[in-house]
Amino acid sequence: MEPAQVRLTIPDSLDLTRLMGPADSLLRRIEASTDASITVRGNQVGITGEAAEANRIVAVFSRLIQLVSRGDAPSVADVDLLLQQSRAGLAPEAQLPDEILLTYRGRALRPKTAGQRRYVEAVRSNTLTFALGPAGTGKTYLAMAMAVAALKRHEVGRIVLCRPVVEAGESLGYLPGTLQEKLDPYVRPLYDALFDMTDMEKGNALIEQGIIEIAPLAYMRGRTLNDAFVILDEAQNTTPEQMKMFLTRLGFRSRFVVTGDSSQRDLNGPSGLITARRALEGTEDIAFVELGKADIVRHPLVARIVEAYERAEQTDGRPRP
């Protein structure tokens, strides 16, 4: 069978350095992932190989051109994700979704997969959104981006970030220091996401002013959260009673997002996350978004790790938590 030859024209206005990467690092990454031959001459990209493979590489270049046209500077991680999606048969959407937030470094944050786009749209359309899925699908990160964007647009007056204080399968024992110092290890992932979007100085100033509050779930009882964007992270580690207590904190002009991964539960007994889904699914103004392996945007190995554990659980015949 004759190899297919496909030619792609790069718009003259495009920055080739951004498209191909520093020292052609992005081009080299794509070349290493395929048996097809890729040649670049001026603004022409030629791809020669099996028809299906050539079309797959064209789709990857087309998405990169879209990203650069919107002012982004794609990274090696972005290329890895595009290659991973193309291998899984997930064709890129015709139009890139709108950005959620522009970070203080000038980087546009937007959903990268179809599942993440459904998630963002659900948060925009519903007062209460549950995001369920494995590690690396952007559940917490996208929720934080939506919260910071809502605060910047003055849609809410504050952000409340909440986590159950549960150790991951081991006891750390007594922790010295103030209450905030004791809580810091548990809420560090929330700080990491926040400081990736706002510089550390501004983020700390917002925390000191009480505009951004990071608190353990146990401190939610008795409160009513008005005019706030509230995120409950690691919700698989809540009890049904804790989940009901948290959800009934909802006040006027507020938006709640609950994230969790039922396969990484650190408590025995019924899960508040699973109980809430059984009780609330189908209720108006409440959305449940299921993210999967195709939505993992961390290192490509993370998706393979999740898949391997799922296969092992099926082989062992043990139900997932």
Average pLDDT over residues 152-180: 71
Is 92 within a domain?
Answer: no
pLDDT of res. 290: 94
Residues 64 and 114 in one domain: no
The answer to whether 257 and 230 have CB atoms below 8 angstroms apart is: yes
Q: How confident is the model at residue 125 (pLDDT cuts 50, 70, 90)?
A: very high
pLDDT of amino acid 74:
85
Mean pLDDT of the 54-79 span: 85
The last residue of one of the domains, among 27, 61, 87, is: 87
Domain limits for position 77: 4-87
Computed over every residue of the chain, the mean pLDDT equals 84
**Confidence check: pLDDT of 93 > 80:** no
Please say whether the beta carbons of 295 and 269 come within 8 A.
no
Q: Could you tell me if residue 231 is inside a domain?
A: yes
241 and 287 within one domain:
yes
Q: Is residue 93 part of a domain?
A: no
Output 62 or 102, whichever has higher pLDDT.
Answer: 62
What is the CATH classification number for the domain harbouring 299?
A: 3.40.50.300
Question: Are residues 261 and 297 located together in one domain of the fold?
Answer: yes
Q: List, in order, residues 6 or more apart from 265 with CB less than 8 Å away.
A: 236, 237, 271, 321
**Inside any domain, residue 321:** no
Dump pLDDT digits (tens) for 217-234. 888 889 999 999 999 999
278 and 194 in a common domain: yes
**Do 170 and 267 fall within a single domain?**
yes
Residues 143 and 212 both lie in one domain: yes
**Over residues 9-35, mean pLDDT:** 89
In a domain, 156, yes or no: yes
Tell me, yes or no, whether 42 and 163 share the same domain. no
Q: What is the CATH number of the domain that holds 73?
A: 3.30.1370.10
> Is pTM, for the whole model, over 0.75?
no
Residue 176 pLDDT: 59
Cα 232 to its chain centre, rounded Å, is 15
Phi, psi of 255 (to 5 degrees): -135, 130
Do 195 and 311 belong together in one domain?
yes
Number of domains in the chain: 2
The pLDDT assigned to 307 comes to 77
Structure tokens at 154: 């003055």
For 191-201, how does the pLDDT look when each residue is reduced to its tens digit (9 = 90+)? 888 888 988 89
Q: What percent of the chain has pLDDT over 70?
A: 88
Of the candidates 306, 299, 308, the one whose C-alpha atom is nearest the C-alpha of residue 81 is 299
Band (pLDDT 50/70/90 cuts) for residue 25 is very high
Domain assignment present for 207: yes
Rounded to an integer, what distance in angstroms lies between the CA atom of residue 306 and that of residue 284? 32
- Residues 114, 217 within the same domain: yes
